[in-house]
A and B are shown apart, each in its own frame.
Chain A
Amino acid sequence: MEHAHHVEHPDMYDEESSKIGMWLFIFTELLLFGGLFIVYSIYRYLNPEAFHLAGEELNRTIGTINTVILLISSMTIAMSTTALRKGHKKVAIALVVVSFVIGFAFLVNKYFEWGVKFSHGIWPGSEQMLAEMSQGEILFFGLYFVMTGLHALHIIIGMIIMLFTIRGLAIGKVTIKRPSMLDNCGLYWHLVDLIWIFLFPLFYLIH
């Protein structure tokens, strides 16, 4: 544009491209967790009794609270995309901030939940687990820590994306004309929710 030799690349922005790009990425995430769900279902099939017993150790109330929390945050971030389209920029920012805070609350809950397990001597490879538990129970807790841990990691990633989105909204990079970043941030957060919708019954409910 400016100089003869200075070549700018064309702006390739396209809302639908961004959307399907995000969906394709979500597919990879689904199959990433899918691998773990395969492992879980095989081991549950092989060790039904042990999984039953080990599942009773988990705290249903905390699990339910976290489910409710995550569902609410899903709603707030979905509302944020509507707010942006209606032109209410401040509302949109506020709703993402709310989702961020709720996500943080989820992590705090998780921290206490894991903390209780650790204080009972239950963590991957702990001596107490190896000494007292059956093989099936070791597998259950191994999967519990891996799957909820990986999920928590996704919560953290989702929150980092939210920070970038808030910044984008504030400085005007994300607008009605270019809403993809907010939309994709929302989609990612819903994915995190979607995985939790399956993790919750598999670990906390099925005894």
Chain B
Amino acid sequence: MSEEKHQHVVPYRVYVIILIALLILTFSSVGITSIELGEYTVAAALIFAVIKSFLVLTYFMHLKYDKLYIRVMVGFVFALFLVVIIITFLDYLFRT
């Protein structure tokens, strides 16, 4: 059953770099949301969160080194959640 020995070993260095990137992003998002941006605050904070989660998924969770179909599944689940939230908002956006 173990014909595929693709054991990719990720060097420690990669994880350190990603952690530094994540920390920079964290502090940037704290910084940018302390500025008065009005309604864009939500968007700014969420964009930073999305980038951070992308890094965690890709490197910490090894998706970069995994087979394509696992990545497709993950993408599908996030897309599905997005669609569900949009449909729910179809109701609330047009409530009178």
Could you tell me which A residues sit within 8 Å of B by CB distance?
14-16, 19-20, 23-24, 27, 30-31, 34, 37-38, 41-42, 45-46, 60, 64, 67-68, 71-72, 74-75, 78-79, 81-82, 85-86, 183, 186-187, 190, 193-194, 197-198, 200-202, 205-207
Contacts and interface: CB of A to CB of B under 8 A. Distances in A.
Contacts of A15: 2
Given A23-B73, A187-B61, A197 B53 contact: yes
Contacts of A206: 33, 41-42, 45
5 contacts: A16-B67, A20-B70, A30-B78, A34-B81, A201-B45
A14 B60 contact: no
Contact of A41 (B11, B16, B85): B85
A67 B88 contact: no
User: Which interface residue of A15, A20, A42, A71 has the most chain B CB atoms within 10 A?
Assistant: A71
Nearest to B47: A201
Contacts of A38: 84-85, 88
Contacts of A27: 73-74, 77
B2 A71 contact: no
Contacts of B9: 82, 85-86
Contacts, number: 111
Nearest to A20: B70
A167 to B, nearest CB: 23
User: Which interface residue of B15, B60, B73 has the most chain A CB atoms within 10 A?
Assistant: B60
A207 B89 contact: no
Interface in B52-73: 52-53, 56-57, 59-62, 66-67, 70, 73
A82 B30 contact: no
